Structures are given as structure tokens and as C-alpha cells.
Amino acid sequence: MPFSTIAQSSNKVTLGSSLTASDTNSFWASPSGDFAFGFQKIVTADYLLAIWFNKIPEKTIIWSANRNNPVQQGSKIQLTADGRFVLSNPSGQQIWAANLTGSGVAYAAMLDTGNFVLATTDSATLWQSFDEPTDTILPTQVLNQDSRLISSFSDTNYSSGRFEFILQTDGNLDQSAVSTSQFYQRAIIEYDGVFRQYVYPKSGGKAMGWSTLSFTPPNICTSITQSTGSGACGFNSYCRLGDDQRPKCECPSGYIFIDPTDKLSSCKQNFVSQNCDKESKESELFGFEDMLNTDWPLSDYEYFQPVTEDWCREECLKDCFCAVAISRGGNCWKKKIPLSNGRIDPSIAQTYRNITLGSSLTARNDNSFWASPSGDFAFGFQQIGTGGFLLAIWFNKIPEKTIIWSANRDNLVQSGSIIQLTTDGRLVLNDNTGQQRWSAGVRVSYAAMLDTGNFVVASNDSAILWQSFDEPTDTILPTQRLNLGNRLVASFSNTNYSSGRFQFMLQNDGNLVLYTRKFPLDSLNSAYWSTDTVASGFRVIFNESGYIYLTARNGSVLAFVGSNAASTGQFYQRAILEYDGVFRQYVYRKSAGGPVQWSTLSFTPSDICMSISQSTGGGACGFNSYCRIQGNDQRPICLCPSGYISRDPNDGLGGCKPDFEPQNCDEESQETDLFGFEDMVNTDWPDSDYEYFEPVFEDWCRDACLRDCFCAVAIFRDGHCWKKKNPLSNGRIDSSVGGKALVKIRKQNSTGKPAAEGSKKKDQSTLIITGSVLLGSSVFLNFLLLLSTLLAMSYLNSRKTKMLQSYPVVPGMNLRSFTYKELEEATDGFKEELGRGAFAIVYKGVLKDENGNLVAVKKLDKIVREGEKEFTAEINAIGRTNHKNLVKLLGYCSEGENRLLVYEFMSNGSLASFLFRNSRPNWHERIEAACGTARGLYYLHEECSTQIIHCDIKPHNVLLDESFTARISDFGLAKLLKTDQTRTITAIRGTKGYVAPEWFKRKPVTVKVDVYSFGILLLELICCRRSVETDASSDNEIILSDWTYDCYKEGKLHLLLENDEEAIHDMKRFEKFVMIAIWCIQEDPLLRPTMKKVTQMLEGAVEVSVPPDPSSFIS
């Protein structure tokens, strides 16, 4: 079973070389360092002679020589002078030796394929680990006929287990292939009997950890049904497929595991068995525990039908041999002990509900539909506003009833329309006049709404004659595939389901492409994203593990489109080409306890504003508009420049038009004094220029555009000047654009279109005539009128100027300037408090705009009063930040003494409430929070345009969005606080809190204060406790940082992880994170790493060296 073969070099291990099993963990590494051969200490404190992935924190083992006979410290592996490769225990007894195929071994080598070889001087291989696999194979490795893999006993016990994977003489296997340059890979038969293929990203840009790419069989619980043996789990237990698609073995109520440490062992009764003595009627002492969709299929000894459930219960209760009764559809099976092949599976009850010939649904307000067996999906009519009805499929158990397919998206039908499965076997949609609007299938026998979200029509022998999965609209679901020529067409908007402006297509040439459409026609513009797989792409697969990828004809993976796994057992899932042109993968938690909404898992392209730049078409947004990315899921929004308005308020992508009379091109009247510019930083319309000049000054560029009646916008960047004409296309605002756009608009006191001009002049004339008639007899009265008018205008102008000064707009920042009244209304009078600190209170609010967005309004107190300019400068710096691990500032209020900031609303609260709640968050969520916070700080310190030192990193200032992504808040506020206040806050926390020692020694404050605070935060995350706990069981546990270093120094890190099973099973990563934290909290700032290095260490890109005592370098 080959993967593929590659050539490579090796590091030679010479004759006489040896390694000794000890705590120093010596090994022989491959040339790249990807793999290592040596001794690994296991949980029993013994050692395995093994090969492992050496660059990842888990040091995952992929081969061992002595899995059933671990050796003690002091054991030795030696390449002897006479060419033998021997493992001996401390007493010198041989435990294992390589079985050579010949003589003349000259050297050994650990190769970059993960293969360890013994070879001759001419490099002929005499022995290799690839020929003697344990439970794992790697890319380039070959399993020959009759080769076998044997699973481990458990995930921590590497001895031979219960399952075997063998390539028989008639066997063949295909596994999905991915790039070995981007991923570490392995395929392993695991202790639960499933053969899984794993990938692990080599770079730090993706989620770190082994991800399942494929597994066989898809459901081991239902795959094993044997007359002998217990099944996937032990006797008297049952197998359940977990949310992660892994089998879990459990005991029924009243039963316990024979061996609690072995979850694959059998269960035993935890009660006294029923007495079979006929004279002893014990039936009243026993009862039943009901379990839905459960069976032990090969344990029955009696069968009855047709009977009722009550009869079945009574019959088992009276029978002392009956351990379980199965009642299903009028059938009754009595089961005896030991129960075998136990499983929970919804398909035991039914697979689908047939819709018979002659059945129909009518479009009306009662919302009738055909549901899938579980009720997860429904097929029927959905009313779309007042426009009519869609024949659609939707998620039926969520409030939104999210549509995932429709038959008549471009031709809504009215109330009274009918979908019918006719008696002659056609599925037909007729409108309320009886006219046919759509049809599918010929000579079918039944239809069914399946639990996959697929609606099918089929023949008597269940052959599918038509299915909705073959004709997708804008969405695909797990188990669905896109074949050559298939396409998704986006909806027009999020409420208008008709065909829109974008298309996602697997072309017949094999390239997977995103296009803009020449709306409203069906023809296409050029592509704005593709996989570049011409002549190789064959099929897009959305698998049940949540991966979306493009494969070649041989099944190898060419490209991932959505590469974040999510269990279909735990989440509803969909992937959709949305109306804004972005292909997004969504998940929705099925059970309570998480966000009850669709959350974005991945999206393509990463920035559509910058991805679309075409010579024809308006771009990501319409003509004369510009595109900006905002929000955690990086959604594009389309905006009009100042002086422009939307062409159609109901069409967000419809473009904009000038809201002023254009400049007159009459040479005698250029009107230059009537026009000015609105500056927009980092903005461009790259494909609309008609003249270019360089080198020039900005003032020259302004003047050149001002004197040119064709010039709508001038772009000035680094001495270059581009003049742009209407209609402007491909508009975008992004920090990478640079420079500024000078948008020409008519000045406020000269605005107005011809009709308005005429009206104004008429009004002025009327005023003059009336005044003359009424006051013509008195020059003095005319003078008084003129004087009072001038005074009134002066007063109004001065008041208007003051009002304008109260609501400044930060230049080029797209931050909204709110009035105090607007925020008072948004928060309902500052009613619902989200939290408070020493200098601010945060309130929940809802903006009074068309979207009604939730926001968090921070009302600042005790801030530095250094004038409007300084406040605006600080807001300017905060507004320029843009990172997925920062909370986005949306706007501000600076009115009189009031200073308020408006942020995105974070639906899952703070890291403090998440971390210190009653139930412990899972280990991987805590790891993600740590890495996300580190990335956010790295951005503030080194990647944003103005370096920002946070000065107050703690769990309360790290928030969690709807996807539980860590987002840093309150950054950039340090300069707004009074200095004495800042000192007071830090003094209250104490030297063992989050604040670096230099705060108390009057030393300069640098970015290293944030590194120190992050180190404390990291310890809280991985240990899942507060940094200071005064009620700790012993004094040495009160200060977490001190206790952690003591445990690390004494080799007792397990003391930090009481009952934290997930972290205990990931002990190597836990130890690494402890070492990183200790580096961060060094009292000498010079010893602390930068946040860039901290991020690299967390993600495994940089090795972590042994840290010193945090206080050892302070005199």
C-alpha cells in the first residue's frame, strides 16, 4: 500500500555508537530534525526504543522495537563494531536485535521519511524499520501482502492491543493524499480498532495538533457484528460514536466496568441477579432502564411478533434469563448475558420515511413540510416576505430555518401552489393557476427527505433517480460532492434568494474557481480565486469530519477549501457561497451550552476586497463604492464615499452615485472654488485611472484634479498621483494600500442640483420683494433688520462651529463619531452593565441603524484632560489596528466632558468568566485562547503602524467572540489614564499579580511588561486557576507563579493538574507551556522573550530552552 517515494540524504550513525536510556532524552535525529530515534520515557517510567516526530510538542511515537517489553533506565542501544544493532537492559541482557538480511553493516541512519535503516558501505539496506511496522505507516512506506499493523492496548499503553490491520493477498486500500511539504503525516491503527490517517501542519499558520483526514471504518460501532467475541467494546457494554467520530465504550445503567482503567474491557452487573427459583417471585424487585436506538444484535434467544411494548416488558420481567428486551415496530427480542456487539445508532430505528405516490404539499401560511427521520431537515414551502413562496430544503430544528436548497429561486410561486409526487412518478411544482414551474424525476416509486439534507426520488429497488445534492443552489452539506461542471450561484442578498453576482464552480478542466457574474446575465467576468488545478481537479468533497477539499481522480487531495474539522454529531454544518462573494463554512452547535447561532469556521478568499481587481465590473462592491473588511469573520461591507449615496438602498452591492451637481466642464466656468476634497487614508479604486504623474507633491495632485472636470478622485502615494474618472471601480480600503484618496465633492455651501438652485433663488427673490413692500418706507427699519439678520447668522454659525467641533471624525479611520444622546439611546439610558473597572464602566447597547448591531459602550472616567487633539490622536492609534485577536473599535464620543468608546460586542464574555467558572473549560480551548492572546499582543507590539503597549493584560481584558476566539480589549488606553491612577491600580494588584516588577522600581516601561503579564495569564490558562488564591490548601500554593516554578524544578508538574485528564494526557505540551511562562515572568526584563518569540514557541516553530529561576538574576 504505497504513498509515494522521495529521495533524501541522511546523517550517518557510525559503528560503535550507542544511546543510553536516561532523563536527558538523547537521540539520533534525521537531517531535517523532523524525526528522531532513541529512548522515550513512558507513563510507567520505563523506556521504549522508538521513532517519533521530533518537531512537534507531542513527540508522537510512530515505531517501537520493544513495545511489549519496555526497558529500565540505563538500558542501551548500540551499533556494535561488528555491525549488529542490539538493545540491552542495564544488566547487559539482550532484549531486542535487528534481524539483518545480510552482513556488512557499515552505518545506521535516521532518514527524513521516518525510516531508520542499517546499510552497507555502498548504501544497500540490510534492515529498516519500515519493514517491521508496529501500529503506524508513513508517506513513502509500503505495506506488502500479509504485512500487518497491531494496535496499542490504549492511548498510553503501547503494548500490543486488540485489533489488527492486515493487507491480505486479495486486499487493497486507498487513503487520501496531501502535500508532505506542508504537513507531517501518519496512518495508524489505533487502540479502538479504527485505522486513521492524520495530518499536522508544519507551519504555525494553522491550528496546531494532529487532525484526522480519513478513517476506516466510518463507524466501527456498527461495523463489528460477530458471532464470537464481544464486538467493538467489551461484553455487556455498548459502543457510541462520539462527537469527534471516535467510538466510546459505556456500561448500561446498573453495570460497571470490570477494569475501570480499561474502557474496552467488559462490564458486569452491579446488582444481585434475579433468582430463577420458580417459588421465588422476584419480578416486583426489578424494573427497566429505557435506552433509545440501542441493541446487542447477536444476544437474543427468543423472538415474538406482533406484540406491544408493554407485553415485551412483562415477558422479560418474568424471565430470570432475560437481561435486556428490545422492542421495535411490534417486534420483541429477549437478550441473554453476556451481551455482545452492543451499539447506539439512530439508524437502528429507521433510515428514512417514504413519501408515497400521490402525496402533495400546498404553499400556505401553515408551513407544511416533509421532514427527515430525525427532524433535522425539512422539504416544503417557505414564505419569503410578501414576494411569494420558495420550494426549499432547510435546517428544521433551529429557529432561523436556514435554507440550503431551493427549486425556484428565480421564480417564486404564490399561495395555493402545489408540489406533488404524481401517481405516474414525477415530482412536479405547479403554481396556483396549475401551470408547471419545475419538475424532477421520471417513473419514480417514492421520495424521501434524508437526514443528510438530501431530498431523493427513487425506484422500487431504491435506486436514486434524482437528488437535490446533484443540483445545489448556493450551499453544500457534509457528505455532498461537487463533480466536474457543478456550480454554486450566490443569492442576490441575505433576504433575496434569487441568483446573484458570484459563482463557485468546478470547471470541466478541473480548476475550482470563484467568478463574478455579469449580473443580471449568466455570463462571467474573470476569476478572483482559484485552486490552479487545471487538468488535475476532479471532485470537491465535504466529508463528515467537516473537511472540504478538492481531489484528483485517484483520490489524492489537491487543495483544502475548508480545512477546519467539526463533528457532524455535535454541529450542524453547511458551506455556502454568500451574496458578498465569499465561500464560508459554518457550524451550529446542536446541543445547549454554546453559542446558539451559526459561527464561521473558515472562509475563502481571506480578503475579498483585495482579491477582486478586474478591468470590467464594479469589483467586490458596486461602482463608486468601496469595500472594507470588518468583524471577526472578516466580512466585507460596501460603503459610499462622502458626497455619494447608494443607488438602491435595498441593494448593498448596487453601487453609489454622486449626491451633488457635477463640475461644469465649460472652459469659461471651471467652478474650482465650489469644490473641495474629502481625504480617505489607505483607499483606492485601482482600475479607474486615466492620467498618471510623478514625481509630484500632494498639493500639486490636489490642484490638478480640482481643475479637471473629469477627475472624480485623485490618489496620492509616495510622490505619485493618479487621476480617476467615474464610474470608480474595485474600490477598497486596507492598510496595505497606503497613501490617500482625495475624493472631490461640492462644498457644503455650494451643494444642490439645478432644481434646488432655482428654488433657492426664488425664495431669495420673494424675501427681497416682501421686505421692500413692508419696510420700504423706513430706511432705519431696513437697517435694523439687516443688522439683526447678520447678528443672528453670526450666532448660528458660531454655534454650528462648536457643534461640529464636538463631533470630530478621525481622518481616514472609518470610525463613527457618536453623539452622547445616540449612545444614551443605544444603551437604554446606560441600563445593562457588562462590567466595570477602575476607570470605566461598560454597557451593552444596540445601535439604532438598519442592522441593529449589538455593541459594548465603554464610558471612560478620570481620563487625562489634555484637549481634543490628544484624545483624537489616541483614538487614531486604536482605530488603525485590525487583527482577529483584537476587539474592534467602531467609534467614539467626545462631547463636552464625556468620553465614550464603542466596541464590537463579544457574546461569550471575558476569559475570566470562561476560565474560572464551575466547570473546567477543555484543554484545547485553553490552548487556543493562549495562542490567540499571544498573537494579538505580537501584533500590538510589532505589526501595527503605531506600537501599542497594553499595560493591563489580565483575563478580564481578554474577551471571547461567538466562536470562542480570544480577543484583547482595552489596548491603547494607557495614555488616556491619569498617571497617579495607573500607579494606584497596579499597586493594588501587588508584585505577585499581573504587573511586572519594573513598575515598582521606576524603570522605563517597555513591551516587556506585557510579556510578564502574559506569562501570568498563560499559567492561569494551563493550570485553570487564579494567579493568587488565598484559600489554597497550603501556603506554597497561594502564588501560582512561585508554586509552578517549584513544581517544575522538582519534576512534579502533575501536582498542578489535579483531575485535569485532558492536560495530563498532553503532559509534554503542558511542560512546554510552563517553561514558556517561566521565561515570560523573569524579573529581569532583558531575559524575557519578545511576544513574537513567545508566539513561535507556543506554536512549535522555535524550541523552548530550559528557563532559569525567575528571580535568580536580580541582585
Using CA atoms, how far apart are residues 880 and 736, in angstroms rounded to an integer?
Answer: 12
Using CA atoms, how far apart are residues 174 and 187, in angstroms rounded to an integer?
Answer: 12
Q: In this prediction, what percent of the chain has a pLDDT beyond 70?
A: 85
The pLDDT of residue 756: 37
Q: Is residue 612 one of the residues assigned to a domain?
A: no
Q: How confident is the model at residue 1005 (pLDDT cuts 50, 70, 90)?
A: confident
Q: How confident is the model at residue 353 (pLDDT cuts 50, 70, 90)?
A: low
Q: Is residue 27 one of the residues assigned to a domain?
A: yes
Any residues with CB less than 8 A from the CB of 10 and at least 6 apart, and which? 30, 31, 109, 110, 111, 112, 117
Using alpha carbons only, how large is the chain's radius of gyration in Å?
Answer: 36
Tens of pLDDT, residues 111-137: 999 999 999 998 899 999 999 999 999
Model confidence at 762: pLDDT above 60: no
Is-contact 878 972, C-beta < 8 A?
yes
Q: How confident is the model at residue 870 (pLDDT cuts 50, 70, 90)?
A: low
Q: Is residue 226 one of the residues assigned to a domain?
A: no
Same domain, 188 and 272: no
The pLDDT of residue 781: 40
The one catalytic residue among 376, 952, 961, 1060: 952
Q: Which of 161-170, 348-357, 660-669, 1002-1011 has the lowest mean pLDDT?
A: 348-357
In the predicted model, what is the mean pLDDT of residues 464-488?
94
pLDDT, greater one: 403 or 175: 403
In the predicted model, what is the mean pLDDT of residues 229-255?
88
In the predicted model, what is the mean pLDDT of residues 178-182?
61
pLDDT, greater one: 988 or 121: 121
The pLDDT of residue 228: 76
Residue 1030: Cβ within 10 Å count: 7
Model confidence at 302: pLDDT above 70: yes
Q: Is residue 801 one of the residues assigned to a domain?
A: no
C-alpha cell at 131: 519493514
Q: What is the dihedral of CA 101, 103, 106, 112, to 10 degrees?
A: 0
C-alpha cell at 98: 535487528
Same domain, 633 and 703: yes
Q: How confident is the model at residue 1071 (pLDDT cuts 50, 70, 90)?
A: very high
The pLDDT of residue 593: 56
Model confidence at 872: pLDDT above 90: no
In the predicted model, what is the mean pLDDT of residues 479-505?
94
- Most confident stretch, 521-535, 997-1011, 1015-1029: 1015-1029
Same domain, 260 and 331: yes
Model confidence at 779: pLDDT above 50: no
Q: Which of 318, 348, 378 is the last residue of a domain?
A: 348
- Most confident stretch, 705-709, 778-782, 894-898, 946-950: 705-709
Q: Which amino acid is at 138?
A: L
Q: How confident is the model at residue 212 (pLDDT cuts 50, 70, 90)?
A: confident
C-alpha cell at 13: 550513525
Q: Which of 870, 904, 938 is the last residue of a domain?
A: 904
CATH of the domain at 1011: 1.10.510.10
Same domain, 137 and 18: yes
As for how many domains the chain has, the answer is 7
Same domain, 185 and 290: no
Q: Which residue has the cell 489616541?
A: 874
Establish whether 952 is a catalytic residue.
Answer: yes
Q: What is the dihedral of CA 272, 277, 282, 283, to 10 degrees?
A: 110
Same domain, 303 and 253: yes
**pTM of the predicted model, to two decimals?**
0.48
The pLDDT of residue 484: 94
In the predicted model, what is the mean pLDDT of residues 251-265?
90
Same domain, 640 and 543: no
The pLDDT of residue 763: 38
Same domain, 208 and 72: yes
CA distances from 48 to 346, 387, 835 (A): 42, 70, 52
Using CA atoms, how far apart are residues 499 and 493, in angstroms rounded to an integer?
Answer: 9
In the predicted model, what is the mean pLDDT of residues 604-633?
88
- The domain of 303 spans 238-348
Q: Is residue 342 one of the residues assigned to a domain?
A: yes
Q: Is residue 32 one of the residues assigned to a domain?
A: yes
Model confidence at 767: pLDDT above 60: no
| Residue 859 labelled as part of a binding site | yes
Same domain, 110 and 185: yes
In our burial notation (b when 16+ CB lie closer than 10 A, e otherwise), range 454-464 reads bbbbbeeeeee
Q: How confident is the model at residue 278 (pLDDT cuts 50, 70, 90)?
A: low
Name the residue among 43, 37, 42, 45 with its Cα closest to residue 65.
37
Question: Taking the mean position of all CA atoms in its chain, how far away is CA 177?
Answer: 23
Q: How confident is the model at residue 773 (pLDDT cuts 50, 70, 90)?
A: very low
Same domain, 337 and 358: no
Q: Is residue 1105 one of the residues assigned to a domain?
A: no
Tens of pLDDT, residues 33-58: 999 999 999 988 899 999 999 999 88
The pLDDT of residue 1074: 96
The pLDDT of residue 518: 81
pLDDT, greater one: 874 or 898: 898
The rounded mean pLDDT for the chain is: 83
Model confidence at 1012: pLDDT above 90: yes
Q: How confident is the model at residue 608 (pLDDT cuts 50, 70, 90)?
A: very high
The pLDDT of residue 760: 36
Q: How confident is the model at residue 564 (pLDDT cuts 50, 70, 90)?
A: low
The pLDDT of residue 327: 86
Model confidence at 880: pLDDT above 80: no
The pLDDT of residue 658: 95
In the predicted model, what is the mean pLDDT of residues 86-105?
93
Q: Is residue 823 one of the residues assigned to a domain?
A: no
In the predicted model, what is the mean pLDDT of residues 290-305?
84
Angle 760-763-766 from CA coordinates, rounded to 5°: 150
Q: Which amino acid is at 159?
A: S
Using CA atoms, how far apart are residues 193 and 309, in angstroms rounded to an integer?
Answer: 35
Same domain, 338 and 360: no
Q: How confident is the model at residue 563 (pLDDT cuts 50, 70, 90)?
A: low
Model confidence at 769: pLDDT above 60: no
Same domain, 1015 and 955: yes
The pLDDT of residue 2: 37
Is-contact 321 301, C-beta < 8 A?
yes
CATH of the domain at 160: 2.90.10.10
- Most confident stretch, 265-269, 291-295, 745-749, 808-812: 265-269
Model confidence at 672: pLDDT above 80: yes
Q: Which of 183, 216, 249 is the last residue of a domain?
A: 216
Q: How confident is the model at residue 76 (pLDDT cuts 50, 70, 90)?
A: very high
Is-contact 409 522, C-beta < 8 A?
no
Tens of pLDDT, residues 140-156: 888 877 788 999 988 88
The pLDDT of residue 230: 86
Name the residue among 1055, 1107, 1102, 1060 with its Cα closest to residue 1081.
1107
Q: In this prediction, what percent of the chain has a pLDDT beyond 90?
A: 47
Using CA atoms, how far apart are residues 831 and 829, in angstroms rounded to an integer?
Answer: 5
The pLDDT of residue 592: 62
Any residues with CB less than 8 A from the CB of 533 and at least 6 apart, and which? 510, 511, 512, 550, 558, 559
The pLDDT of residue 814: 59
In the predicted model, what is the mean pLDDT of residues 239-260?
88
In the predicted model, what is the mean pLDDT of residues 977-982?
38
Using CA atoms, how far apart are residues 46 and 503, in angstroms rounded to an integer?
Answer: 58
Tens of pLDDT, residues 674-696: 999 999 999 999 988 999 999 99
Tens of pLDDT, residues 813-853: 457 889 999 999 999 999 998 888 767 899 999 988 767 78
Q: How confident is the model at residue 281 (pLDDT cuts 50, 70, 90)?
A: low
